[in-house]
Structure 1
Amino acid sequence: MSRAESKARTRAALLAAAERIVARNGYAGAGVDEIAAEAGYSVGALYSNFRNKEELLLALVSDRANAHVADAAKLLAGGPDADPMAALSRQLVRVADADDLTLLQSELWAYAVRNPRARERLSAGMRGPHDALSTLVGEQRARDDETWAARDDEIATVVLAMFQGLVRQRRLDPASVPDDLYGRALTWLFDGLSVPEETS
């Protein structure tokens, strides 16, 4: 294994451990010693990859958000017989019912809005996933040969907010977010964005 591969493996293990620890103990209760031990590494290994706990958790949120956008891209490219809205609904259900990212995002949001430096870093870390989603929206628009009444980046912002909001609502009150609601909500959104072709 190369040095770069070893570093990437260590980083991935630390991120996964941090996700579990924060889900269990919250942001304030997640110590670097515990995160390193959970990952099977020394605290020194943690600090060789991340400057501090804040940087580690900000990287975790960005990393997981990028993974969700990549998953969504695969679902949208599923083929002519695929039902992308149903697949995206299933993705939301998986995240809401089993993924600890929601808890971490909530913790970091509360921390960041009280800490201007962390807020700037969290915003910067989320630009990558947002831009990737904006690109995905543009590709879907081109495939559908649609004209929409908003920019791709604006649509990406709303889609992200819908996803995060519905995930949190389902964690709080599962019955209020049926399994297919996200796909239906996306359909409502995109139907409303379509600009009718002019008739002569």
Structure 2
Amino acid sequence: MSRVRTRPTRDDTRDKLFEAAARVFEEQGIGGASIETIAAAAGFTRGAFYSNFKSKDELIIAMLEDHVEQSIGRIRDLLERHRNLPDFLDALKSMNRGAQDPLGRSPLLHMEMILFVARAEKRRPELAKRLRARRKLVTDIIETTARNSGKKSVLDPTWAGALVLALEDGFRLHRLIDPETTAPDSFFRAIGDLQRAMGISAA
């Protein structure tokens, strides 16, 4: 009879540390949260933390990387199933961004972590790498949906991707700061306006 594995895998451990860190960061702040508290919240020892991450900064970088990878994976899956822009946007609106992703459930913590990393200039290339990956994703979406619509965009796709990403980040921040005057669908309304300006509206 085969033995049942009871010890968590490395991925299981990392996922639990991500979830625990998100809770602790929200409760105590990123700067005030200790490695011991994060490990305890995940049900692990301090040694288990250090077997996965060298420092709290490395944990944060890994959480941001995991968030971007999960987001890109989910959105590319959507694009495979919905290759024209109206259908893709409808699917994107209903996508569960928080599934197995603590930063997807907490946009404010996500931004706080980005700013925390950005304070250290030597860490900014880590953020830049993920920003470029997000821009490429949006550029690919624009190129694919424009091609499938049979229309050529009047804007350079790379520049259009940068615009779309800036709109998303900007409206997310505005929504956090002033939800009363920033409607939940502000980003998608802006995308509709940009879509028409680019000449790739649905026929």
TM-score normalised by structure 1 residue count: 0.76
Going from structure 1 to structure 2, the CA distance change for 1:46 and 1:88 (only over 3 Å counts) comes to: same
- Indicate which of 81, 88, 94 corresponds to 2:92: 88
Partner in structure 1 of residue 56 of structure 2: 53
- Residues 102-140 of structure 1, C-alpha deviation per residue, up to 9 Å, x if partnerless? 223322333344321121222224433443333333322
Highest relative contact order (Cα 8 Å, sep 6+), 1 or 2?
Answer: 1
Aligned partners of 2:135, 2:33: CA distance in 1, in Å?
Answer: 27
Aligned partners of 1:17, 1:131: CA distance in 2, in Å?
Answer: 31
Q: What letter matches 2:155 in structure 1? A: A
Q: CA deviation at 1:9?
A: 0.9
Aligned partners of 2:90, 2:14: CA distance in 1, in Å?
Answer: 33
Aligned partners of 1:151, 1:22: CA distance in 2, in Å?
Answer: 40
Matched, 1:171 2:176: yes
Matched, 1:41 2:34: no
SS of equivalent to 1:54: helix
Q: Percent identical across equivalent pairs?
A: 25
TM-score normalised by structure 2 residue count: 0.75
SS of equivalent to 2:152: coil
- Residues 12-48 of structure 1, C-alpha deviation per residue, up to 9 Å, x if partnerless? 1111222222222222122211111111122222222
Q: Within 5 Å, give how 1:1-200 maps onto structure 2.
A: 6-76=9-79, 77-78=81-82, 83-91=87-95, 99-194=104-199
Aligned partners of 1:181, 1:18: CA distance in 2, in Å?
Answer: 30
Normalized per residue, the structure richer in helix is 1
Contact 1:15 1:60 in 2 (8 A): yes
Aligned partners of 1:99, 1:137: CA distance in 2, in Å?
Answer: 23
* Long gaps (5+) in structure 2: none
